[in-house]
Structure 1
Amino acid sequence: MNDLARHYSRFRVAERLLLTGHSHQAWPDVAREGQLEAFDDAARDVDAKWAAAFAKAEEVREGFRVFLGEPGAELALGANTHELLVRLLSALDLRSRPRLVTTDGEFHTVRRQLARLAEEGVEVVRVPAEPAGTLAERLAAEADDRTAAVLVSRVLFATARLVPGLGDLAAACARRGTELVVDAYHALGAVPMSVPGEGLAGAWVLGGGYKYLQLGEGNCVLRLPGHARELRPVVTGWFAEFGALADAGRPERVAYAAGGDRFAGATYDPTSHYRAARVFRFFAEQHLTPLRLRDVSLRQTERLARRFDELDLPEDVATRDRDTPRSGYGGFLAVRCRDAAGVCAALAERGVHTDSRGDYLRFGPAPYLSDTQLDEAMAALGDVVSA
């Protein structure tokens, strides 16, 4: 058994083949401590609990800063990336720049919302996500003076391909006065990031902890660039008034706070932040740093890829990209299958938990899984497709 697995006894990770780590990882047992602490604080302090809750929120911000590689990052927190995205979009001047550029490989948060905006007259340009190696360059070519924002993933959610060249894309957007929004959800905890080191200081970065960071629901983040102080989101909650600075020149205007609170919402359930703060502390205690997690992830996905190749399956049944090294991928192995959904269901009947997106069957390992568990999961794939 992987020694780390003992810390996840309530999720029984040593007894189950949980290969959905790219979607929902198990929570360490200490996460329960955070949830109980939230209850105890509320029971003791009642409505005065918010001082403690805001302190937990700041712990969560500190945890995210580690994985963004930016100690001083200004961060807004939200229950999900959609609410953060909507607040950001509401701050853009879509009247004078009624054009958004994105890809056809974005997660449904972006895909659905932009599709609905397109129905209302916003011009939405979708650039093919493949080949990923040239995606940033092709997005830059589409950004013009009418483009309010370019939205792209750091890691493509269906295939796990890293998108290179985002720093160059950020520079191109800055020259046009276009906002760059990077969805880093599939990077945080799987691929080390350095927002300033990657040339993304002027970009907005979305992410969350439901996946690789094991934080559970309700823990998402929007990293703000320095010029965010100039924007006034139309969708704004009353928590954005805390510390708000009135505009002396136009006192009739709605005032906003500085920093991440500028994009704050309203009353929320702080239990998720208690849980997340305790899990971030657990990561520090176990030395689960971004670099270590990347090392573990690469070793595990490389093992899954080798075991898949050893199955020697017909290309028209199941195959994978062998042209790109594993270092060009995020935290899961994507296998293109003739019937990805059917294979996923058949694996579930055998106790192997995976998932599928379109033609892709996704195997997402986690740091608490053993090599034996990975081998068993891939052997089960061989049995299913050969049956």
Structure 2
Amino acid sequence: MTTLDSLRASPNALAEHYARFRVADRLLLTGHSHQAWPDLALAGQVDAVTDAAEAVDRKWELAFAKADRLRAGYRALLDDPDADIALAPSTHDLVVRFLSALDLRRRPRLVTSDGEFHTLRRQLARLAEEGVEVVRVAASPADTLAERLAAQVDDRTAAVLVSSVLFGTSRIVPNLRVLADACARVGAELLVDAYHALGVVPTSVRDQGLTSAWITGGGYKYLQLGEGNCFLRLPPHAATLRPVVTGWFAEFEDLAAEASGLVGYAPGGDRFAGSTYDPTSHYRAARVLDFFAEQGLTPAFLREVSLHQTTLLADRFDALDAPPDVITRDRSAPRTSYGGFLALRSPVAGELQRKLAERGVLTDSRGEYLRFGPAPYLSDQQLDQAIATLGSLL
């Protein structure tokens, strides 16, 4: 079984399983935007081609089994074994279907934060141009965000849309239960974007009081599933909603359409299904999920690894004693209040990212934030080297 000490060592105990991404030979601190895939991911893609060649049009029965494996993986990550899960290539697809199920004529108000990922930021901004009232609450301070969002919820609010970990700063948004309760009192929906939590911050629908919430996310970042593996967790009352944006896969197993004369919907997560898709990503995801299980990469252990790595990066950065007007980090909370990357604030973040890449340290930046995203396949020595390189630039 994989241990933290075996991952801290050089060579890292997992690195041999990521030969194609050459994680042992490169300083891949891109984990916040894209972790490497284990070599078994390729076998999943070959599986998809093999099934298509052998079964031809009957491949869909085999492909749906891979989709079910992916759903099971997300249920485990959400600690919600009975959840209805809809799948789609992107969270945008799922968010649009969710929004199309809301009664925006009667409740034309959406509440969100100003720290949301571009999937929400852009789409909500476009809806605002068409007359939907979009209320944006300051994401900072994160410690009070849930309460401040809750204060904006009224009987004109159709939904609140917020992240459980802020993608720009890595801050965890606590007390989402308070927000869920506020939404439930007035009949508003709550959509939680957990993309930047799964794989680095354990999530429990029940323990966090989110049984009535919609939860979306995907496996492109910390779960190493690659593109095309996004999900929407449906709350129990989702069976009463009828998304306007709907694909023909949502007709499967529908028994009510002819009797009512209305467009019908399949039960469960398929209510929010789209249409014909490329199942290759699900084959890849199934292999990677099995790999995680074999290596003991559970949510609790991944959190332990992540906290060790981000704390090490933060400590090494502090030791540089860099001028705060050039680069600094948020020290207002302990590392346990952050997700899976170290966010460094700098007016030249993009320039630093480019110069680090020239020196073999691949990071990620957005706006004024330079982000170091470690991953379980990196050793402590590699993390030390990455920060030392930043120090030489500074």
TM-score (norm. length: structure 1):
0.98
Letter in 2 for 1:108: H
Query: What is residue 60 of structure 1 aligned with on the other side?
Result: 70
Q: CA deviation at 1:245?
A: 2.8
1:228-377 alignment runs, 5 A limit: 228-246=238-256, 251-377=260-386
**Of 134, 137, 141, the match for 1:127:** 137
Within the candidate set 198, 204, 218, 2:214 is matched to 204
Question: Which residue of structure 2 aligns with residue 104 of structure 1?
Answer: 114
Structure 1 CA distance for aligned equivalents of residues 73 and 161 of structure 2: 24
Q: CA deviation at 1:338?
A: 2.2
* Residue aligned with 2:383, SS: helix
SS of the residue 1:151 aligns to: strand
**Separation in structure 1 between the aligned mates of residue 136 and residue 70 of structure 2, nearest angstrom:** 34
Q: Where do residues 95-244 of structure 1 align in structure 2 (5 Å cutoff)?
A: 95-244=105-254
Q: Which of 68, 81, 84 in structure 1 is aligned with 2:94?
A: 84
- The CA distance in 2 between the partners of 1:245 and 1:188, in whole Å, is 35
User: Is the 2:217–2:230 Cα contact (8 Å) retained in structure 1?
Assistant: yes
- Residue 231 of structure 1, CA deviation: 0.1
Is 1:11 equivalent to 2:21 in the alignment?
Answer: yes
SS, match of residue 76 in structure 1: strand
Q: CA deviation at 1:74?
A: 0.7
Q: Distance in 2 between matches of 1:383 and 1:243?
A: 61
Distance 2:264 2:382 in 1: 54
Secondary structure in 2 matching 1:3: coil
Of 77, 81, 96, the match for 1:71: 81
The superposition leaves residues 303-344 of structure 1 with CA deviations (integer Å, 9 ceiling, x where unpaired) of 000000000001101111112000000000001112111111
Please give the secondary structure, in 1, of the residue aligned with 2:99. helix
Please give the secondary structure, in 2, of the residue aligned with 1:327: helix
Between the aligned partners of 1:138 and 1:245, the Cα distance in structure 2 is: 43
Distance 2:265 2:196 in 1: 31
1:109 deviates by 0.2
CA distance in 2, matches of 1:176, 1:41: 49
Structure 2 CA distance for aligned equivalents of residues 92 and 34 of structure 1: 37
| 8 Å Cα contact 2:18-2:38 kept in structure 1 | yes
Amino acid at match of 2:307: L
Aligned residue identity for 2:388:
A
SS across alignment from 1:92: coil
- Dislocated runs of 4+, deviation >2 Å: none
Where do 5+ consecutive residues of structure 1 fail to align?
none
CA deviations over 1:107-130 (Å, ceiling 9, x no partner): 000000000000101000100000
User: Is it true that 1:28 corresponds to 2:38 in the alignment?
Assistant: yes
Three-state SS of the structure 2 residue aligned to 1:102 is: strand
CA contact (8 A) 2:32 2:364 kept: no
> Which amino acid in 2 is paired with 1:169?
L
Q: What count of residue pairs does the alignment treat as equivalent? A: 384
Distance apart, 1:170 and its partner CA: 0.2
Please give the alpha-carbon distance, in whole angstroms, between the structure 2 residues aligned to 1:370 and 1:245.
54
Please give the alpha-carbon distance, in whole angstroms, between the structure 1 residues aligned to 2:330 and 2:141: 12
When the two structures are superposed, what TM-score results if normalisation uses the length of structure 2?
Answer: 0.97
Q: Does the 8 Å CA contact 1:31/1:276 hold for their aligned counterparts?
A: yes
Q: Match for 1:326: what amino acid?
A: R
Structure 2 Cα separation of the partners of residues 157 and 45 of structure 1: 41
Per the alignment, residue 382 of structure 1 pairs with 391
Instruction: Give the RMSD, CA atoms, in angstroms.
Output: 0.8
CA distance in 1, matches of 2:292, 2:268: 26
Q: CA deviation at 1:247?
A: 5.4
- Greater Cα shift, 221-230 or 315-324: 315-324
| Contact 1:245-1:258 at 8 Å conserved across structures | no
Bigger mean CA offset, 216-225 vs 250-259 = 250-259
8 Å contact from structure 1 (residues 21, 211) kept in 2: yes
- Does the CA-based 8 Å contact 1:183-1:205 persist in structure 2? yes
- 1:2–1:369 CA contact under 8 A, matched in 2: yes
How far, CA to CA, are the matches of 1:260 and 1:347 in structure 2?
Answer: 43
Letter of the 1:273 partner, please give it.
H
Structure 2 alignment gaps of length 5 or more: 1-10
Per-residue CA distance 1:326-381 (angstroms, 9 max, x = gap): 00000000011121111111101111011111111100000000001000100111
